[in-house]
Amino acid sequence: MYQTKYHKAASFDDAVAALGAAEDGKYLAGGQTLLATMKQRLAAPTDLVDLRGIDGMVGISVDGDSVTIGAATTHAEVASNAALRAVIPVLCDLAVLIGDPAVRHMGTIGGSLANNDPAADYPAAVLGLNGTVITNQREIPADEYFEGLFTTALDEGEIIKAVRFPKPRRAAYQKFPNPASRFALVGVLVADTGDGPRVAVTGAGSDGVFRAEALEEALAGGFSAASLEGASVDSDGLMGDIHATPEYRAHLIGVLARRGVAAAG
Amino acid sequence: MSTGIGARVKRKEDKRFTTGQGRYTDDVRVDNQAYAVFVRSPHAHAKITGIDKSEAEAMDGVIAVLDGHQLTGDGIGNLICGWAVSSKDGSPMNMGAWSALATDTARYVGDAVAVVIADSRQEARDAAEAVVVDYEELPVVVTSDKALESGAPQIHDNAAGNLCFDWEIGDEAAADKGLAEAAHVTQMRIVNNRLSPNPMEPRSAVAIYDSAEEHYTLYTTSQNPHVARLVLSAFYNVAPEHKLRVIAPDVGGGFGAKIYIYPEEITCLWASMKTGRSVKWTADRSEAFMTDAHGRDHITNARMGFDQNGKITGFKVDTLANLGAYMSLFSSATPTYLYATLLSGQYDIANIYGNVKGVYTNTVPVDAYRGAGRPEASFLVERMMETAAREMGMDPAELRRRNFIGSFPHQTPVIMTYDAGDFAGNLDMAQKAADVAGFPARRAEAAQRGKLRGLGYSCYIEACGIAPSAAVGSLGAGVGLWESAEVRVNPVGTIEILTGSHSHGQGHETTFSQIVAERFGLPIENVSIVHGDTDKVQFGMGTYGSRSGAVGMSAIVKAMDKVEAKVRKIAAHVLEASEDDIVIENGAVKVAGTDKQMLWHEVGLAAYTAHNLPAGMEPGLKETAFYDPVNFTFPAGCYIAEVEVDPETGVTKVVQFTAADDFGTIINPMIVEGQVHGGAAQGIGQAMLEGVVYDQDGQLLTGSYMDYCMPRADDVPFYTIEHNKTVCPGNPLGIKGCGEAGAIGTPPAIINAITDAIGNNDLQMPATPLKVWTALQAAAKPMAAE
Ligand SMILES: Cc1cc2nc3c(=O)[nH]c(=O)nc-3n(C[C@H](O)[C@H](O)[C@H](O)COP(=O)(O)OP(=O)(O)OC[C@H]3O[C@@H](n4cnc5c(N)ncnc54)[C@H](O)[C@@H]3O)c2cc1C
């Protein structure tokens, strides 16, 4: 790690100002991505502006059929929150699959979404459940938020405050972990929402998380595993690496979608 | 409770390890400490056309920036290979020059080119980034088959076509004849995947130079500190042996990777002299992946012939062994004498021929890794047997039974003389414990759940305690492979054992104490084990090849024989009895049939006060022995794995695993079971998870745990472990060794089980979900066509 200055922001304005004043600053949440890259000297911010102390950044609130999760809420909190489980259990089921206990007790939903790793789990939840990313400046619908590998609609210095999720009728997340890293080799979130079925796929796309339209169309005829028989995902545009070929990923998306729909009940 | 041979004694060393009080090399802090960080080649093959150190030298805290020309200019020798192998035409192996810091050419990604010595690690790292090396990139080759193709990039000038040696064993004409006469021939291409050793503690060195005494001390992560000193002194010209002390304190795992002397240790010693500062280097995990000697990496084509009754008529093997860019210390022996000498497996095979080509590539050197040659042999033989049985429509266990060696000693056509074993007994034991009879029902039940269940065997044999020294010397070894021990009985009767073996996870402090406790009837608390320091221990060849029991403990026994002889003489003299009447039991030295006795510590005191010793006897009670074994030892066993495959995804779970091992005498069953557990986990790792991948440009794609998959707790099953016992006739305790068996015997059992489940024999390691799914697709295709 190179030398870096640490700031603890007390408010959004404070954070934005600290970042603006820095030569090459970065926001810090759980550090589970950022600190690791800094230790490997792949990132070298001059300043770290810690967002976790800002009022309202942590916590889960349920408001009828909608849930709002503060950006600095840890994966462990999401995994174990009883109020959340009563409304959108798939979020708890997904969060408990992230990393290991140490990672889950430090890493945050906002950090994961700002980072937008193509193999991360939360992007599938936000896209699949049609969530809304709430920043210090605006609200960004899921379909407009993810822009590619490690790229999002966030502007320079924009801070994710929270994420809001509408309650789906039913939903399930199926993760096929990369054997080595245990990030998603393929992760599929299927949701039966008020606006029709949504199928979001993480881990597989060359441009990051995406909606599997062919599968959504198939499910429009009825939210059941049977509807997915014969539906397939094209391997074009899927990632190939030492762990999985594009064809294998395409196949897994189909398998996981069927299993997800069955699990969603 | 007994603490002697056969007792499940808890490990004495674990209090310090589990409470964080172990003392590893990186824990060593000395005065005047500086830190080394290496500048490494980012290219797999490149000419070094210039090094600009000026910016780095001017940076804060930098003491020196040193390069390969300075190192060789100071007379530091090239790295050596400790085992000379000749090609079949009699020519010596073509050894490529390997300087600790590359001078003109870098040959793998990570090859050290320069070193920065600075006041802090941070400053050294910053400065290392500021060293500007000009490279002229050269074409790259990373696999052994491609490296042998005509027109492949040439890696060393003196190894034409990248061929280091073209070695053979056995009788080719006889093997050809056996195959020609066969009723059935099984032919396979088998890749033994390249592995990264991954000891928990990365390599580390602390070098201290005392200019007044012209003396060096090296703390380092070594499995064999005396060998390190010998090599550093005799070949690298760092210092004469009496001016060089090597200490290997607590070492957190080795698996072979810490046998060798690497460029970093040599450079730290030299740099400490050059700068007048103590120099510390500790690898980070990325460096470990990049620079620790890898293991395995064979490509083999083999044919095995059988007669009408399933008797093997001939076996012919062609292996390409990837040596990496340079020859590591035992890299020539691992794919030859440690591999092809076991091609007979547990079977009576009259005709065997093996050809092994050692090949240079632009990858990190490859050398012995837990099992070292023997896993490659057992994987090959056991995959061939299982596949042949399937092809001939025979029960794989029955095919093995028809070919088992049944009487001992047995001379194989590939050098080895097996001294003892009960191969059919091992198989019976494993089949019973695994309830093989119940397998069809388990398979049917799994099918109900949509899972494909398969069962695979492995009847492995290995050779431990490489010996005797004269024999290995005649095969090219540059060292003798004996062991030494000193038994010091103190005046108060407590005992220190100084051993040349080195414990880096094996539990010697416990098991070595147990054999002393057994012999003299003392509590193990009264025994301590001293190892890992060339200033304390007389000499030693270290720990690898499962030799510490068979060879290291035998040396202790020999030294205890001498102690006992002296104790008898002293007691007979003091108690005024005949030596023949003296018995030693429960910590007392008695005259049989009387109530006359001396307590153990009274004998110790008598020896050191020397007030009343037999005429002419020297005072003291301390004896040394050097033990050279008469033969290898041959642990063998039968492993049976059962797996379940999810046909939709290729995900495979090992659901049952049974091991029946014959390790001869067992000193501590708990520790032996731990060795089998760990070895089997490593074997499952090799079979299903682990594999080093370089891309075409020689960049390491598996350079971290994000891509290199180590076994985790939920990847391994609960193990059932049984012990058969035929005593090894070659050493006083009857020990065969158990340290590598799990890693040797497990991979074929797993792959045989998976191929059984999926109905396709064509499956290479690691059998990842991707590979199993792909093999399932291939297996399904011809069926669909029918
Ligand atoms: C061993 C290990 C295993 C892991 N396994 C998984 C896994 O299986 N699945 C998975 O999805 N992830 C996994 N992760 C990643 C983990 O989920 C991280 O927590 C997450 O990627 C980043 O969150 P963080 O809070 O740690 O963010 P940080 O590392 O602190 O920051 C990440 C990036 O986001 C920015 N940032 C952080 N918060 C905000 C905000 N509120 N607004 C704007 N920008 C912000 C930072 O500036 C930085 O660029 C793993 C990590 C590790 C170390």
Could you read off the pLDDT of B708-717 as tens digits, one per residue? 999 999 999 9
Average predicted confidence (pLDDT) for chain A: 97
The answer to whether residues B229 and B114 belong to one domain is yes
Ligand 1 centroid–CA A261 distance in Å is 28
Cα–Cα distance measured from residue B505 to residue B679, given in angstroms and rounded to the nearest whole number: 12
Average predicted confidence (pLDDT) for chain B: 96
The closest-lying atom of ligand 1 relative to the alpha carbon of residue A123 is: 11
Give the residue-averaged pLDDT of B373-397. 98
pLDDT for residue B780: 81
Strands A132-135 and B417-418: unpaired
Beta bridge partners of A28: A50
The answer to whether residues B655 and B738 belong to one domain is yes
Burial B244-261 (b: 16+ CB within 10 A, else e): bbbbbbbbbbbbbbbbbb
The answer to whether residues B576 and B678 belong to one domain is no
Cα–Cα distance measured from residue B285 to residue B136, given in angstroms and rounded to the nearest whole number: 28
Residue B129: CATH number of its domain: 3.90.1170.50
The answer to whether residues B595 and B689 belong to one domain is no
Strands A196-202 and A184-193: antiparallel
| Nearest Cβ partner for A244 among B701, B710, B770 | B770
Of the candidates B291, B309, B339, which is a domain's last residue?
B291
Residue B119 counted as domain residue: yes
Residue B93 φ/ψ, nearest 5 degrees: -60, 150
Residue B3 counted as domain residue: no
Beta bridge partners of B454: B643
Q: With an 8 Å Cβ cutoff, is B713 touching chain A?
A: no
Query: How many structural domains is chain B composed of?
Result: 3
- Residue contact B768–A255, C-beta within 8 A: no
pLDDT in tens, chain A (265 residues): 889 999 999 999 999 999 999 999 999 999 999 999 999 999 999 999 999 999 999 999 999 999 999 999 999 999 999 999 999 999 999 999 999 999 999 999 999 999 999 999 999 999 999 999 999 999 999 999 999 999 999 999 999 999 999 999 999 999 999 999 999 999 999 999 989 999 999 999 999 999 999 999 999 999 999 999 989 999 999 999 999 999 999 999 999 999 999 999 8
Q: What is the pLDDT of residues B253-269, one digit of tens each?
A: 999 999 999 999 999 99
Cα–Cα distance measured from residue B260 to residue B262, given in angstroms and rounded to the nearest whole number: 6
Among candidates B289, B300, B193, which has minimal Cα distance to B691?
Answer: B193
Strand arrangement of the beta sheet that strand B527-530 belongs to: B527-530, B495-499, B483-489, B622-627
Among candidates B681, B684, B635, B632, which has minimal Cα distance to B661?
Answer: B635
The closest-lying atom of ligand 1 relative to the alpha carbon of residue A32 is: 26
Confidence class for position B2, pLDDT limits 50, 70, 90: confident
CATH fold for the domain made of A170-264: Enolase-like; domain 1 (3.30.390)
pLDDT of residue B22 exceeding 50: yes
- Residue contact A179–B705, C-beta within 8 A: no
* N-to-C CA span, chain B: 66
The closest-lying atom of ligand 1 relative to the alpha carbon of residue A71 is: 41
Maximum CA pair distance of chain A?
57
Q: With an 8 Å Cβ cutoff, is B708 touching chain A?
A: yes
The answer to whether residues B456 and B577 belong to one domain is no
Classify the phi-psi angles of B86: left when phi > 0, otherwise alpha if psi is within -120 to 50, otherwise beta.
Answer: beta
Contact B633, B736 (CB under 8 A): yes
CATH class, domain A60-166, is alpha beta
- Residue contact B770–A180, C-beta within 8 A: no
Residue B159 counted as domain residue: no
Cα–Cα distance measured from residue B557 to residue B233, given in angstroms and rounded to the nearest whole number: 31
Q: What is the pLDDT of residues A218-265, one digit of tens each?
A: 999 999 999 999 899 999 999 999 999 999 999 999 999 999 999 998
ω into B249 cis (within 30 of 0): no
Distance of CA B203 to CAs A41, B218, B254, B479, Å?
A: 21, 13, 9, 24
- Residue contact B709–A180, C-beta within 8 A: yes
Question: Which residue spans of chain A are classified as CATH 3.30.43.10?
Answer: 5-50
pLDDT of residue B335 exceeding 70: yes
Ligand 1 contact, A36 CB (< 6 A): yes
pLDDT for residue A87: 97
Contact B381, B412 (CB under 8 A): no
Residues near B149 by beta carbon (within 8 Å), at least 6 away in sequence:
none
The closest-lying atom of ligand 1 relative to the alpha carbon of residue A108 is: 25
The closest-lying atom of ligand 1 relative to the alpha carbon of residue A28 is: 30
Burial B422-452 (b: 16+ CB within 10 A, else e): bbbbbbbbbbebbebeebeebbeebeeeebb
| Domain ranges, residue B640 | 294-466+631-785
Contacting residues of B for A248, CB less than 8 Å apart? 770, 773-774
The answer to whether residues B661 and B713 belong to one domain is yes
Distance of CA B289 to CAs A196, B143, B186, B692, B708, Å?
A: 48, 18, 37, 9, 9
Cα angle: B238, vertex B243, B246; to 5 degrees: 80
- Residue contact B709–A176, C-beta within 8 A: no
pLDDT for residue B1: 61
The answer to whether residues B120 and B265 belong to one domain is yes
Ligand 1 centroid–CA B37 distance in Å is 30
Between positions 644 and 703 of B, the ones with CB within 8 A of A are: 648-649, 689, 693, 701-702
DSSP state of B154: P
Cα–Cα distance measured from residue A207 to residue B54, given in angstroms and rounded to the nearest whole number: 43
| Nearest Cβ partner for A252 among B129, B649, B708 | B649
Tell me the three-class secondary structure of chain A, residue by residue: CCCCEEEECCCHHHHHHHHHHCCCEEEECCCCCHHHHHHCCCCCCCEEEECCCCCCCCCEEEECCEEEEECCCEHHHHHHCHHHHHHCHHHHHHHCCCCCHHHHHHCEHHHHHHHCCCCCCHHHHHHHCCCEEEECCCEEEHHHHEEECCEECCCCCCCEEEEEEECCCEEEEEEEECCCCCCEEEEEEEEEECCEEEEEEECCECCCCEECHHHHHHHHCCCCHHHHCCCCCCCCCECCCCCCCHHHHHHHHHHHHHHHHHHHC
| Nearest Cβ partner for B701 among A2, A242, A251 | A242
pTM: 0.97
Contact A40, A82 (CB under 8 A): no
Cβ-based contacts under 8 A for chains A and B: 38
The answer to whether residues B662 and B599 belong to one domain is no
pLDDT of residue B786 exceeding 80: no
- Residue contact B709–A248, C-beta within 8 A: no
The answer to whether residues B347 and B419 belong to one domain is yes
pLDDT of residue B307 exceeding 70: yes
Residue B195 counted as domain residue: no
Beta bridge partners of B134: B50
Between helix B554-574 and helix B600-609 the angle, nearest 10°, is 80
Write down the ipTM of this complex. 0.96
Residue B538 counted as domain residue: yes
Percent of chain B with pLDDT over 90: 97
Cβ neighbour number for residue B759 with a 10 Å cutoff: 14
Residue B638 counted as domain residue: yes
Residues near B110 by beta carbon (within 8 Å), at least 6 away in sequence:
B40, B41, B287, B290, B291, B364, B700
Between helix B263-275 and helix B225-234 the angle, nearest 10°, is 60
E strand or H helix that includes residue B210: strand B204-210
Q: What is the pLDDT of residues B490-529, one digit of tens each?
A: 999 999 999 999 999 999 999 999 999 999 999 999 999 9
The answer to whether residues B513 and B638 belong to one domain is no
Give me the amino acid identity at B154. Answer: Q
Cα–Cα distance measured from residue B629 to residue A5, given in angstroms and rounded to the nearest whole number: 62
The answer to whether residues B351 and B232 belong to one domain is no
Cα–Cα distance measured from residue B45 to residue B140, given in angstroms and rounded to the nearest whole number: 6
Q: Which two tokens stand for residue B157?
A: 């000038």
Of the candidates B610, B627, B644, which is a domain's last residue?
B627
Provide DSSP, B607-669: HHH-SS--TTPPS--EEEEEE--SS-B--EEEEEEEEEE-TTT--EEEEEEEEEEE-BS-S-H
Residues near A86 by beta carbon (within 8 Å), at least 6 away in sequence:
A62
The answer to whether residues B602 and B645 belong to one domain is no
Give me the amino acid identity at A20. Answer: G
Q: Which two tokens stand for residue B106?
A: 């870098």
Residue B458 φ/ψ, nearest 5 degrees: -150, 120
Residue B475 φ/ψ, nearest 5 degrees: -90, 0
Contact B676, B721 (CB under 8 A): yes
Q: With an 8 Å Cβ cutoff, is B404 touching chain A?
A: no
User: How many residues make up chain A in this entry?
Assistant: 265
- Residue contact B707–A251, C-beta within 8 A: no
The closest-lying atom of ligand 1 relative to the alpha carbon of residue A154 is: 43
Residues near B289 by beta carbon (within 8 Å), at least 6 away in sequence:
B196, B700, B702, B703, B704, B708
Cα–Cα distance measured from residue B14 to residue B672, given in angstroms and rounded to the nearest whole number: 16
Of the candidates B627, B651, B674, which is a domain's last residue?
B627
Ligand 1 centroid–CA B287 distance in Å is 25
Strands B33-40 and B46-52: unpaired
Best of A32, A176, A183 for a ligand 1 pocket test (most atoms within 8 Å of beta carbon): A32
CATH fold for the domain made of A5-50: 3.30.43
Residue B767: CATH number of its domain: 3.30.365.10
Q: With an 8 Å Cβ cutoff, is B773 touching chain A?
A: yes
The SS3 of residue B268 is helix
| Nearest Cβ partner for A179 among B125, B129, B689 | B689
pLDDT of residue B785 exceeding 50: no
pLDDT of residue B552 exceeding 80: yes
Ligand 1 contact, A123 CB (< 6 A): no
pLDDT for residue B479: 87
Residue B164 counted as domain residue: no
Contacting residues of A for B708, CB less than 8 Å apart? 180
Ligand 1 contact, A227 CB (< 6 A): no
Ligand 1 centroid–CA A33 distance in Å is 5
Q: With an 8 Å Cβ cutoff, is B778 touching chain A?
A: no
E strand or H helix that includes residue B146: helix B144-147
Question: Which residue spans of chain A are classified as CATH 3.30.390.50?
Answer: 170-264
Cα–Cα distance measured from residue B82 to residue A197, given in angstroms and rounded to the nearest whole number: 66
Best of A112, A163, A181 for a ligand 1 pocket test (most atoms within 8 Å of beta carbon): A112
Residue B74 counted as domain residue: yes
Best of A52, A97, A103 for a ligand 1 pocket test (most atoms within 8 Å of beta carbon): A103
Q: What is the pLDDT of residues B398-442, one digit of tens each?
A: 999 999 999 999 999 999 999 999 999 999 999 999 999 999 999
